[in-house]
């Protein structure tokens, strides 16, 4: 295996404290708040995961929502109401406010279908928009015993907090034949009319897997995979992911190549493969 493309793409982590490096970042206090809210959310969601009395409903868009989704978003809203009363909030379950200059963007449980079925791959997503930019992202997945976070111009990290983390960087894979792609499903691609192009692209790549939802984007940021894409997304699905991918050195756009989480779909990559994938799709 020595000298192979697979070994060249292997990620190595170095855990240490980054608190001093981040302390001067203008959004460091916001990061500390977001990490604290993630701690509270993790406690609530972990307690409700697998609960016999979990209440599940179907929303008008035919996606499920549970009492845990709503309670977690309310918990975060209550905390923000005390700590950041002037900021607006855009959440999946309890209201999508317009930006007042600073706006918190919340997905209380990304991966609710997994949560309902007992699959331990779900996370709370907390993003912060300041002006036109997403400046902070926290993704906390307690059943994976993992958390990812980033602040704009401060780097991307994996760990419980700034004192216990590793700095993330995307992979250096530049050839599709050595690259790994992750998707959530194929159904939305059929509706877009480019499922055949997607399958043809996957045939050119080393590996296709369906990690799905938040996880595939975090794996891109970690350098564990190289490309992730979804054809249908809301702002709350993507906002927290964007700074993590970008601060790790990657690229996050919609499927037309427009940067950020604003296009209703998402494509994340290590940057080296982004143009090639956009052309293929």
Residue 268 pairs in a beta bridge with: 228, 252
The answer to whether residues 81 and 105 touch, using CB atoms and an 8 Å cutoff, is no
> Tokens standing for 263?
């296009």
Rounded Cα gap, residues 157 and 151, in angstroms: 9
Rounded Cα gap, residues 134 and 255, in angstroms: 19
The answer to whether the annotation marks 107 as part of a ligand binding site is yes
What's the N-to-C CA distance of the chain in angstroms?
Answer: 32
The answer to whether the annotation marks 109 as part of a ligand binding site is yes
CA-atom Rg of the chain in angstroms:
18
Residue listed under structure tokens 């928009």: 129
Q: 252 exposed, middle or buried (CB, 10 Å; 0-12, 13-18, 19+)?
A: buried
The answer to whether the annotation marks 105 as part of a ligand binding site is no
The answer to whether the annotation marks 237 as part of a ligand binding site is yes
Rounded Cα gap, residues 44 and 27, in angstroms: 26
The answer to whether the annotation marks 69 as part of a ligand binding site is no
* DSSP conformational letter for 138: E
Q: Which residues are annotated as a binding site for Mg(2+)?
A: 92, 107, 109-110, 237
Q: Which residues are annotated as a binding site?
A: 92, 107, 109-110, 237
């Amino acid at each position: 295996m020595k000298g192979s493309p697979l070994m060249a793409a292997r990620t190595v982590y170095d855990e240490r404290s980054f608190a001093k490096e981040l302390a001067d970042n203008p959004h460091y206090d916001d990061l500390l708040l977001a990490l604290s809210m993630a701690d509270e959310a993790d406690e609530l969601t972990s307690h409700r995961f697998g609960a016999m009395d979990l209440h599940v409903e179907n929303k008008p868009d035919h996606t499920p929502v549970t009492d845990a989704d709503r309670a977690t978003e309310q918990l975060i809203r209550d905390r923000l109401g005390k700590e950041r009363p002037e900021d607006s909030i855009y959440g999946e379950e309890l209201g999508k406010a317009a930006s007042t200059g600073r706006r918190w963007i919340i997905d209380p449980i990304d991966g609710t279908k997994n949560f309902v079925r007992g699959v331990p791959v779900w996370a709370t997503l907390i993003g912060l928009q300041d002006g036109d930019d997403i400046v902070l992202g926290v993704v906390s997945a307690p059943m994976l015993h993992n958390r990812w976070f980033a602040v704009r111009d401060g780097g991307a990290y994996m760990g419980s907090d700034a004192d216990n983390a590793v700095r993330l960087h995307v992979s250096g894979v530049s050839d599709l034949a050595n690259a790994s792609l992750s998707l959530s499903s194929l159904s939305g691609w059929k509706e877009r009319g480019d499922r055949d192009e997607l399958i043809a692209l996957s045939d050119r790549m080393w590996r296709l897997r369906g990690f799905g939802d938040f996880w595939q984007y975090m794996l891109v940021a970690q350098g564990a995979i190289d490309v992730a894409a979804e054809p249908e997304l809301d702002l709350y699905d993507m906002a927290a992911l964007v700074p993590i991918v970008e601060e790790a050195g990657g690229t996050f756009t919609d499927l037309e190549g427009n940067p950020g989480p604003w296009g209703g779909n998402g494509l994340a990559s290590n940057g080296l493969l982004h143009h090639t994938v956009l052309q293929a799709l």
